[in-house]
Structure 1
Amino acid sequence: MALDSPRVAYFCMEYGLDDALKTYSGGLGILAGDHLKGAHDLGLPLVGIGLKWKQGYVQQQIDEDGFQVDAFPTYHYPDDVLQDTGVEVRVTIAEDEVRCKVWKCDAFGNVPLYLLDTDLDGNPHRWTTGQLYAGPEGRRVAQEIVLGIGGVRALRALGIDVDVYHFNEGHALLAAFELAREKMEAGMTRDEALAAVREQIVFTTHTPIPQGNETHPIRRLMYLGADAGVMDAEAFRQLGGDPFNMTVGALRMSRIANGVAQLHGETANKMWDWVDGRAPILAITNGVHPGTWVDEEVDQAAQDGSDEALWAAHQANKRELIEHIEARAGVQFDENKLLIGFARRAVAYKRAMLVFEKEREIAPLLESGRLQLVFAGKAHPMDSSGKEIVRQLVEMQRRFPKAVAFITDYDMETGAKMTRGSDVWLNTPRRPKEASGTSGMKAAMNGVLNCSILDGWWPEAVRDGLNGWDIGGGFISPDPKVQDDHDRDALYDVLLGKVIPTYYDDRAGWIEMMRRSILDTREPFSVHRMLREYVEGMYARQPVEA
């Protein structure tokens, strides 16, 4: 039954719908893709707006010294993936008129996604949609002009009526200025137009990491044309400060906003408490698309109550993962030994190396084969510290070649196989820096037991020792070393005292934990529950005072 929802245009810089369409880098894009699939399942009147990336995000390769090498192949798509709408719109970048071709994708069980493309012969700034999250200074602003200003113009050219504009992260903020420009052309003053636009916009904020909340010099915004003929330098300064903070601007230009887990809602409200005139920030916990990520046989076996069927279905997924590891990493794992998965963006706060830091305790487990670890994750091309984490993980594979594997070029296929076929899903961020963590939801729904710091979504789901494990009890310290020392000890206590003994000595207890994990999460953390909350709490909700 379709939900009664206003008509929504969902703006995002990236979308992960399928590996056949290279328009995503990681969790933000996968969430956006699941949002569009869930909207299709529920019959929501929603369309997506994004960019057609010529070379997508970085393709990760590893050189002989273990360092990440960044490759950017050019992608071409068949007609059954992208359809030419025949529509072009124009935007202005640095006083140049830039044509934006509009493509449509509805090939993956999703509501229509419209992607703007500047890679046209004779087009100035044709590389604007070249690479996701890469390129020289200023290109990000140009991309956001195409996404926001061009996105609104594409909706108009396509004849799509919209009631609510949903900005998934601050990249789409410039759409607000284009909406205001339309209202000013109809006779409103700037202040009246911006106030009217504010009531049409809802905003989802994600990362609690300050560096992840994008800023730009106002001078650059004005030079490139991000003002849309509406803003001047002082208006930018009042809205988002100087340098201009896209998240702050979006919080002030939306009627309501949300964080992506209950804990993240608390964190975001504290983080942005100083922003006067901002939208109230609710908490709507992310969800994942079951049809994309959940193995039907595992899910059915958990509901039927058969230990034998559940274990058999899990072991079949584990064998598929082991085959994938051998094909992609050249490492042969044993299906009868404990296999722990860890797949995330390579950044310091996620602490991928934490599990290796008590060498005297971990090395014998790896050398004996009693413990197997598989990792995946990319570093941003400009992030040298992230690339060093990748190098360290590759070094661990070379040091323990039968027990540690690093799968290069983390993609949706690898993510699906790891969250179905691992025995345990390890998550060790510095609390409270993890916004949500949807990979853990996918694992839990597949009976892969989470062993996680109480961050992101996990505090809402965990029943310690019953459906997974809590690492560290929610401890937070302002001193990263104190927090790391505490969490390292807690991780080893859980791993050595609970996870390994249960896996090898209590198979019936382990399977019961798998069943609880599935039944506890399959509905509460689905994208369908998430979307119902968006409709009721954001899309159909009337404006409220912060």
Structure 2
Amino acid sequence: MTIAYFSAEFGLDESLPIYSGGLGILAGDHVKAANDIGISLMGVGVLYRRGYFQQRIHHDGSQEALYPVMDPNRLPVKPVLNDWGDPLFVGVPVGNRTVFLKVWCAEVGKAKVYLMDSDIDRNSEADRRLTDRLYGGDQNTRICHEIILGIGGVRVLRALGVEPDVWHMNEGHVAFLTLERIREYSAQGIPFDTALEAVRANTVFTTHTPVPAGHDVFSFELLDRYLSDYYWQLGEERAKILGLGRIGEDQFNMTRLAIRTSSRVNGVSKLHAQVSKELFHQWTPQIPAQDIPVTAITNGIHTGTWAAPEMKELFTRFLSPDWESQVADPQIWNRIEDIPDQELWDAHIRAKQRMIERLGLPISQNELTIGFARRFATYKRAALLFADPERLDRIVNHPNYPVCIIYAGKAHPNDYPGQDLIRTIKQVSLMERFKNRIFLVENYDIKIASHLVQGVDVWLNTPLKPMEASGTSGMKAAVNGVLNCSVLDGWWSEAFNGRNGWGIEGAMSGSREERDQADREAVYRLLEEEISPLYYDWDDSGISPGWIAKVKESIRSLAPVYNTNRMVAEYRENFYQPLAERGRKLLANRMEAAARVAAYKRFIRRNWQHVEVQSVELSGPMVQAVIHLGPVWNKDVRVEAVGSNGYGGLWKQQLDYAYEIGRGIHLFQAVYGGTAEEWIRSNANVRVFPVSPEFADDFEMELVAWGRK
């Protein structure tokens, strides 16, 4: 089984800076874990010659974005060669021209990541710049990037003779790959609808973005400009092709395209899956948000990459010599209790001292040090603690419990509010009372992130709930004995157990100012009343037994769960293996099953206009519904009574087929068991939707008929 894993960015190592943050680091860790557990996976992305950007922070706090050109010959990549031993090139249609891409390969053990590069002599000067910058340029550049990623990525694999069993889209940036796969089938004479079913059968989509603004949207005019000569190759009319991603009148959403062309969709934490259901509900309002088919596979980290050398040595001695191969086994991590408190604390102090030296920080290793490092998007609220300088002063300059706070992160060059956050942090750090108490480290990257997650004492995270999809930096901190203090958002909402760190509930109502105030007060209180006193509750040996107990519980409870070995194993069991089998089934016998599913859907869509819930009646213990199905067979639909359970979920009861009342009119019924008052109180109704054992999920067709109220 071979997996093709497409991503706009890959954070494999600091020596290959083709990532901007969490999405790329997650992709890099995904590839590493697949290699570790023996999954045949190949990554597909872009070799950005100027990367994301390097950051310089000036004295006034202004951020300067620098884009030094990278020489691929000095990067840990090799050119991919064709059968004749020459560099491999692929051509990609961009508007009315072809852009040629050179293919490079980064090796991660047995796993390979193929990277496309347009900076070659065969292209015009403008086209050579297309793959310069990650997330750079305007909408024109962005759509070109995504054409290269999706269409170009498929063509790279074909040039290599690869036929993946499963295609995994890591965010919607790469979703054009599904159009290219449809085009391939169309070129073989396969009808569009059949090709779409074949593509959907073995495609997985992982969404990472919990806010509408984070999903790429292009105008139809822009798609026409770059893909008009491509539409006809898909064997279908323009309107139907654009309909795969249509939102509104003339907007094309890449996430919508990804959902419509995938068999499985997942969020990256349990809470994020719920948020995604609400977000995607806007596109299918006839389906309750609770029924939107989005599951959750919570992110993890590649523990071997992020654990400090000092911690690895302890794990090898006290857990198991081969603990890295058993990183998802809770029994291994239960042995954390066998590590003497003093040895665990000494290892942490050594990592902390190394961080202090490498980052050039004028602080003592004995001072409570808090880390806040991530992309400086406004919802992450990096400046949350600065609203009350007097109280912050009392916390960081406490005579008995001094605190240092280290900030690091980049703001996108076009994100001016994010850059204002950097300016604010810098200016606060220069105030006399905050000198050597608050620091801003520039040019945040994998290397600096490693020092911070290994060396600080507390990892602070204050997103505006529920806008943090997952968040993996806190996982990296946890495996290093660093305690999390975080809003209960993303991964922390399911990971916090009351003993392994600190949780901030996160205000969900009120104005932004009121929510900021509530969360700020919670952090202040925790620092003043719990975190600082516990850290400095030293015994005669210079350690805090209570702090070490919390550290051990953090490692024991978090390390075996929030790692990419567990995460990728879940993808394998829940997605990769089932969809590889589904793909084989739908493609067998010259796509007989795919053609059958496509024909069935065409029939249902053509006749769904006739489907109507004519009446719903409660009669004694029974609920009865008269349904007009017209030409649709009664066994091709499911009829359900649905109502609110009062806890944010739904109760559902399937109605069984009774008999045909008249031509195309049928009675469905079930024992309800409740009262008419309960039916009304739960806002219950009856719905009908098409089903098939060959569907990937119940609402695959996005068709539902509800009873009138």
TM bucket, shorter chain: over 0.9
Cα distance in structure 2, aligned partners of 1:155 and 1:335:
50
What is the identity, as a one-letter code, of the residue corresponding to 1:114? Y
Partner residue, 1:383: 415
Q: 1:168 aligns with which of 150, 157, 170?
A: 170
Report if aligned partners of 1:219, 1:233 keep a CA contact under 8 Å in 2. Answer: no
Pairing partner for 1:469 from 499, 502, 520: 502
162-171 vs 287-296, which moves further: 287-296
Matched, 1:398 2:430: yes
Amino acid at match of 1:97: T
In the alignment, which residue of structure 1 is the partner of 2:254?
246
Q: 1:526 aligns with which of 533, 542, 563?
A: 563
**In the alignment, residue 304 of structure 2 is paired with which amino acid?**
G
What does residue range 5-404 of structure 1 map to in structure 2 within 5 Å? 6-78=1-73, 81-85=76-80, 86-106=87-107, 108-109=108-109, 111-124=111-124, 125-225=127-227, 227=230, 229-230=233-234, 233-241=238-246, 242-276=250-284, 280-298=293-311, 300=315, 302=336, 304-326=338-360, 331-367=361-397, 370-399=402-431, 400-404=434-438
Tell me the distance in 1 between the aligned counterparts of 2:397 and 2:237.
63
Maintained 8 Å contact 1:218/1:233: no
Report if aligned partners of 2:395, 2:527 keep a CA contact under 8 Å in 1: no
Give 1:513 shift.
0.7
Judging changes above 3 Å, is the alpha-carbon distance between structure 1 residues 430 and 232 closer, same or farther for their aligned structure 2 residues? farther
Q: Quick one: distance in 2 between partners of 1:225 and 1:289? A: 38
Percent identical among aligned pairs is 41
Cα deviation 1:144-202 (Å, max 9, x = unaligned): 11111011010011112201110000011111000000111111112221222111211
Give distance in 2, aligned partners of 1:523 and 1:497.
30
Runs ≥4 residues deviating over 4 A:
none
Q: How far 1:78 moved relative to its partner? A: 3.6
User: For residues 80 and 434 of structure 1, do their structure 2 counterparts lie closer, same or farther at Cα, with a shift above 3 Å needed?
Assistant: closer
Cα pair distance change 1:390/1:190, threshold 3 Å = same
Tell me if structure 2 keeps the 8 A contact 1:39–1:110. no
Whole-Å separation in 1 of the counterparts to 2:167 and 2:337: 38
- SS of 1:433's equivalent in the other structure is coil
Give the number of the structure whose alpha-carbon radius of gyration is greater: 2
CA contact (8 A) 2:429 2:437 kept: yes
Give distance in 1, aligned partners of 2:237 and 2:219: 13
- Cα offset for 1:80? 6.9
Q: 2: distance between equivalents of 1:279 and 1:199?
A: 18
Structure 2 residue identity aligned to 1:467: N
Q: Are residues 490 and 236 of structure 1, via their aligned partners in 2, closer, same or farther at CA, if it must alter by over 3 Å?
A: farther
Bigger drift between 91-100 and 190-199 goes to 190-199
* 1:325 and 1:332 in contact (8 A); partners too: no
The question of whether the paired residues in 1 share the 8 Å contact of 2:272 and 2:490 is answered with: yes
Q: Which residue of 2 aligns with 1:3?
A: none
Decide whether aligned partners of structure 1 residues 201 and 279 sit closer, same or farther in structure 2, where only a CA change above 3 A counts: farther
Deviates more, 1:160-169 or 1:275-284: 275-284
Letter in 1 for 2:6: F
Q: Please say if 1:449 is aligned against 2:483.
A: yes
**1:409-464 Cα shifts (integer Å, max 9, x gaps):** 10001111111100000000011000001000011111100000000100221122
**C-alpha distance in structure 2 between counterparts of 1:232 and 1:150, whole Å:** 23
Aligned to 2:697: 544
Give the counterpart of 1:486 among 515, 518, 538.
Answer: 518
* 2:585 alignment counterpart: none
Q: How many residue pairs are counted as aligned between the two chains?
A: 534
Task: Return the alpha-carbon distance in structure 2 between the equivalents of residues 211 and 525 of structure 1.
Answer: 28
- Shift of the alpha carbon at 1:368? 5.0
Determine the C-alpha separation between the residues in 1 that align with 2:155 and 2:698.
30
SS of the residue aligned with 1:161?
coil
Is residue 501 of structure 2 the alignment partner of residue 503 of structure 1?
no
For 1:541 and 1:279, locate their aligned partners in 2 and report how far apart those are by CA, in whole Å.
Answer: 20
In 2, are the aligned partners of 1:218 and 1:236 still within 8 Å (CA)?
A: no
Which SS does the other structure have where 1:505 is aligned? Answer: coil
Give the TM-score normalised by structure 1. Answer: 0.94
In the alignment, structure 2 segments of 5+ residues that lack a partner are: 81-86, 319-335, 539-543, 580-695, 700-709
Secondary structure of the residue that 2:266 maps to in structure 1? Answer: strand
Answer yes or no: is the 8 Å Cα contact 2:212–2:279 preserved in 1.
Answer: no
- Contact persistence 2:534–2:547 (CA under 8 A): yes
CA distances 1:497-526 after superposition (whole Å, capped 9, x unpaired): 110110112510001111111111111011
Cα distance in 1 for partners of 2:510, 2:270 equals 21
CA contact (8 A) 1:252 1:279 kept: no
Q: Aligned equivalents of 1:521 and 1:8: distance in 2?
A: 28
- Matching residue's letter, 2:370: I
5+ residue gaps, structure 1: 1-5
AA at the equivalent of 2:121: D
> 1:296 offset after TM fit, Å?
4.9
Comparing both structures, which one devotes a greater share of its residues to strand? 2
Of the two structures, which has the highest relative contact order with CA contacts closer than 8 Å and spacing of 6 or more?
Answer: 1
Flag the 1:244–1:192 CA change in 2: closer, same or farther, 3 A. Answer: same
Deviation at 1:233, TM superposition (A): 4.2
Task: Give deviations 1:26-51, integer Å, cap 9, x for gaps.
Answer: 00000000000001101101100000
Question: Does the 8 A contact of 1:263 with 1:456 survive in 2?
Answer: yes
* 1:204 Cα deviation from its structure 2 partner: 0.3
Moved more, 290-299 or 196-205: 290-299
Query: In the alignment, is the contact (CA less than 8 A) between 1:222 and 1:232 conserved in 2?
Result: no
